C-alpha cells in the first residue's frame, strides 16, 4: 500500500485537529487616557489690585476641578501670601484668605518666588501656612500634560 492515497486524509485530519486547539485571543488593550493638562496661574499683582488677585485665585479653584493647577506669586504678589498679609476683598469674590485656604484643601500647590521674597526683605518664615518657596522643577512636575499659563 502506498502513502499517496493516505496523504490527503492525513493532511485533512491534521488541519481538523489544529482547528480544535484552544485559541487565545487577547482583547486589544485600551489606549491609556492622555495626561491631564496643567494650568499655571502667575500672580504678580498684589494687595493694591485685589480684583486681579482674587480673580486669579478664583480661576485656580475653577480649573482645579479637572486640571492640574499651580499658583505662583511673584513681584507684588508676594504681599498676598505673607503670614501678615491683609485679607483682600473685592465685589462678589471670596476673600484672599478664604480662597488660599480652599486651594490648599484642594491640594493646589502655592509657590512664592524666592528672589521676590528676598527683594521684599522677607524670608520663607514670613510666608503664610501652606505657601512654599518655588523651585524651578515645580513648574514642570505639577502636571504630565500641556501647560497653559494665565497671568494676573
Q: Answer yes or no: is 49 within a domain.
A: yes
Q: How many domains does the chain have?
A: 1
Q: Indicate whether 95 belongs to any domain.
A: yes
> Which domain covers residue 62, as residue numbers?
38-151
The string of pLDDT tens digits covering residues 59-106 is 999 999 999 999 999 999 999 999 999 999 999 999 999 999 999 999
Predicted model pTM = 0.79
What does the pLDDT read at residue 4? 64
CATH number, domain of 57, equals 3.40.1260.10
- Does 23 score more than 90 pLDDT? no
Using alpha carbons, list the distances in angstroms from residue 98 to 88, 102, 104: 9, 6, 10
Residue 42 in domain: yes
3-state helix, strand, coil in the chain (%, to 5): 40, 15, 45
In a domain, 33, yes or no: no
pLDDT in tens, 104-143: 999 999 999 999 999 999 999 999 999 999 998 888 899 9
The angle subtended at Cα 67 by Cα 150 and Cα 132, nearest 5°, is 65
Q: Is 151 helix (H, G, I), strand (E, B) or coil?
A: strand
Amino acid at each position: 500500500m502506498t502513502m499517496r492515497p493516505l496523504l490527503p486524509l492525513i493532511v485533512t485530519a491534521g488541519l481538523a485537529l489544529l482547528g480544535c486547539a484552544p485559541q487565545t485571543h487577547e482583547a486589544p488593550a485600551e489606549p491609556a487616557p492622555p495626561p491631564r493638562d496643567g494650568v499655571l496661574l502667575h500672580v504678580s499683582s498684589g494687595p493694591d489690585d485685589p480684583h486681579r488677585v482674587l480673580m486669579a485665585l478664583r480661576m485656580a479653584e475653577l480649573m482645579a476641578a479637572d486640571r492640574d493647577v499651580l499658583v505662583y506669586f511673584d513681584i507684588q504678589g508676594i504681599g498676598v501670601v505673607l503670614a501678615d498679609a491683609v485679607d483682600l476683598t473685592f465685589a462678589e469674590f471670596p476673600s484672599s484668605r478664604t480662597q488660599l485656604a480652599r486651594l490648599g484643601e484642594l491640594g493646589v500647590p502655592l509657590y512664592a518666588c524666592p528672589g521676590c521674597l528676598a527683594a521684599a526683605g522677607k524670608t520663607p518664615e514670613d510666608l503664610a501656612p501652606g505657601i512654599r518657596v518655588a523651585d524651578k522643577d515645580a513648574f514642570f512636575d505639577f502636571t504630565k500634560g500641556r501647560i497653559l499659563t494665565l497671568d494676573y
